[in-house]
Structure 1
């Protein structure tokens, strides 16, 4: 089993290191990073909006 996994690993590494795969892999990684950053920013804006709504509800009106 170890030989099989090692052989599969080596095949995947060789396929990923092929020159024709570098540009698509870089594009996929950049797209993934951009989506994650967008989602994090969207989540923070939602948290800030909820915080301001709750703060406004409990504001004593000073």
Structure 2
């Protein structure tokens, strides 16, 4: 598979928390955590499991920084 996204972070699935329709999938990426909200159906289709290697694919046109 080829992607247009340039921000692809490989990591290990740490946690999968399913809700009514949406799951929060957390990856360990080189010691940092990245969490994605995806559908429960996507979790099933990808056969995601804790401990599995997966990729966070980030496609965003804007990144904002804030401070107090």
Superposition TM-score, scaled by structure 2 size = 0.18
Larger Rg computed on CA atoms: 1
Higher helix share: 1
Higher strand share: 2
Superposition TM-score, scaled by structure 1 size = 0.19
Structure possessing the higher relative contact order (Cα contacts under 8 Å, 6 or more residues apart): 2
